[in-house]
Structure 1
Amino acid sequence: MERTPPIVTITSDFGWRDYHLALIKGTILQHTPNARIVDISNAVANYNIVEGAFLFRHAWQAFPAGTIHLLSINDFDQPDRPFLVFSHQGHHFVGPDNGLFSLIFQEQPASIFQLDTEDISFSRFPLADIFGKAVGHLAQDFPAGGMGSAVDQWLERITLQPVTGPNHIRGSVVYIDQFDNAILNIDRQLMENIGRDRSFELYFKRHSPITELSTSFHDVPVGEILCRFNSADLLEIAINMDRGASLLGLKIEDTVQIDFSNGKKQT
């Protein structure tokens, strides 16, 4: 039976202007000519593993089992930095041990391995060889453990988490998307658990609070402020048909607070 061409995703901070991304893709195709390469994002802000983790975390599960995911953020030209490889939920992952994976997964997989990169230490661009050889190995259904030695844990990074009380949630802006919507670290489940169907006031900066949850942008007139849950079930602050974050002065790590009333929401 002919082997299904492997899907390989790339998430990086390389951008599109330079040749490095093409060099990586070309090397992958040398090792695995039938690979189907998909870019999740190569526009991650330079060295920003928090942003890269956010983008990847909300995309990778859309791909079929067997997909090989390559992550390259804040690892350029550092061949001595450990690289990890592991399999999880039927997918394969390769990337630097710089805290990135701890921001993506709530729990560490049972088995993770540090890639053996001794034979590529003199390459003119080690990352291309690291990824090319890893894809070549995993695409043949060889186990991740065949590429290095087992390690007990990966590097942990801590990010800002919402602070909650019986009647409030204090969160922060974690991402500003292409449409300039400010995405918060408050998900639907947390909002429902704390809110319990009560009225709320969402405070940010010195603006008047938002008191209604919208389903779509067009629930409010053009130019009006709204909050809604996006496709990742994260709360976002936006302006219908305009650049919300810029106009509202919202930046990454800015604090927001949701206060809930003591009574049930009026219908």
Structure 2
Amino acid sequence: MAILTLTTDYGDKDYYVGALKGALLASNPSLNIADISHQIPPFDIVHAAYVVKNAYSFYPKDTLHFVGVNNQNPEEEDFILARLGDHWILAPDNGLVSLISSDGIGEVFRYLKKNHQWSSFHESIGWMVAKFFSSPPPGEYSEAVSSMNNAIALTAIGGENDIRGAIVHIDNYGNLVSNIHRDLFQEVCQQRAFEILLKPHLTVNAVLNSLAGVPVGDTFALFNAAGFLTFGVCMGDGSTLHGISKGSTLQIKFRP
């Protein structure tokens, strides 16, 4: 079964997604298409990587995941196929793939498109997807490459008595997702008391297991399903209410 997921910054107000799906089905009528998201902020490869990284593994093995974000001219720019475990990522070579996984990428192939002409970028993507499902790479449509463009991701830093991190994602509910993973937190915490400084005069002193029993309007901290420390306001928009945006820094101080 040929399964393709779509993650783009195309939005849903225009014809772009509909035209893309039409071109994909014209190239492969038996294709099974699943939408991950078309609401990625324009050109935001960090946001796209976060979404795909936390969704792709739920699909069956050998699924192809197309990530169309910050691709200005698909007919001419380089696109790559990258193996990620039992899955494949198809994306422009703009650093996005490196943000999805910094150490889990296997084989990488670059599409060969010099002798092809398309009437639209939708058709060029349809061609790339059809070629992938018609025969495994490299085939006659791609070549193996030893490197790809890399982007630098914000990384949380743990010390003896503190962790410094940043807000890297704001979800649909206004929750603030940091780059501090549960593993790093537990490694540094060692069951010590702590204080999380989100901004001056805004601190959190506990990480919850769930939102059960949290009063409406209270600020909370918990690890989300992906394992990252997340902050929010119960039944409210934490980003707006606290004036915290993506890129804001935070610090966790642990009792010596």
TM bucket by the smaller chain? over 0.9
2:96 equivalent among 93, 100, 107 = 100
Provide the identity percentage: 30
The secondary structure found in structure 2 opposite 1:139 is: helix
Does residue 192 of the first structure (1) align with residue 186 of the second (2)? yes
1:59-80 superposed Cα distances (whole Å, 9 cap, x missing partner): 0011010211111110033532
**Cα deviation, residue 130, structure 1:** 2.9
1:145-170 superposed Cα distances (whole Å, 9 cap, x missing partner): 11212211010110211122101001
Q: Distance in 2 between matches of 1:215 and 1:233?
A: 12
* Greater than 6 Å deviation, 4+ residue runs: none
**Cα deviation, residue 34, structure 1:** 1.5
Q: Distance in 1 between matches of 2:166 and 2:73?
A: 33
After superposition, the Cα gap between the structure-2 partners of 1:110 and 1:7, relative to the gap in structure 1 and judged at 3 Å, is: closer
Whether the 8 Å CA contact 1:218–1:240 is kept in 2: the answer is no
Whether the 8 Å CA contact 2:82–2:106 is kept in 1: the answer is no
The secondary structure found in structure 2 opposite 1:217 is: coil
Whether the 8 Å CA contact 1:214–1:228 is kept in 2: the answer is yes
- Structure 1, gaps ≥5 residues long: 263-267
Q: Which residue of 2 aligns with 1:87?
A: 83
How many residue pairs get aligned? The number is 255
Q: Which residue of 1 aligns with 2:29?
A: 33
Q: Which residue of 1 aligns with 2:144?
A: 150
2:11 equivalent among 9, 15, 18 = 15
The secondary structure found in structure 2 opposite 1:197 is: coil
One-letter amino acid of the structure 1 residue matched with residue 137 of structure 2 = A
The secondary structure found in structure 1 opposite 2:105 is: coil
One-letter amino acid of the structure 2 residue matched with residue 13 of structure 1 = D
User: Which aligned pairs between 1:117-196 and structure 2 lie closer than 5 A?
Assistant: 117-120=113-116, 122-126=117-121, 128-140=122-134, 142-146=135-139, 147-196=141-190
The secondary structure found in structure 1 opposite 2:124 is: helix
TM-score of the superposed pair, with normalisation by structure 1: 0.91
Q: Distance in 2 between matches of 1:66 and 1:136?
A: 14
Whether the 8 Å CA contact 1:161–1:185 is kept in 2: the answer is yes
**Cα deviation, residue 108, structure 1:** 6.0
After superposition, the Cα gap between the structure-2 partners of 1:109 and 1:176, relative to the gap in structure 1 and judged at 3 Å, is: closer
The secondary structure found in structure 1 opposite 2:57 is: helix
**Cα deviation, residue 20, structure 1:** 1.6
Q: Distance in 1 between matches of 2:225 and 2:90?
A: 26
**Cα deviation, residue 85, structure 1:** 1.3
Whether the 8 Å CA contact 1:202–1:210 is kept in 2: the answer is yes
Q: Distance in 2 between matches of 1:35 and 1:154?
A: 28
Whether the 8 Å CA contact 2:74–2:124 is kept in 1: the answer is no
TM-score of the superposed pair, with normalisation by structure 2: 0.95
Does residue 212 of the first structure (1) align with residue 235 of the second (2)? no
Q: Which residue of 1 aligns with 2:63?
A: 67
Whether the 8 Å CA contact 2:179–2:228 is kept in 1: the answer is yes
Q: Which residue of 2 aligns with 1:245?
A: 239
1:23-43 superposed Cα distances (whole Å, 9 cap, x missing partner): 111111112111111111111
RMSD: 1.4
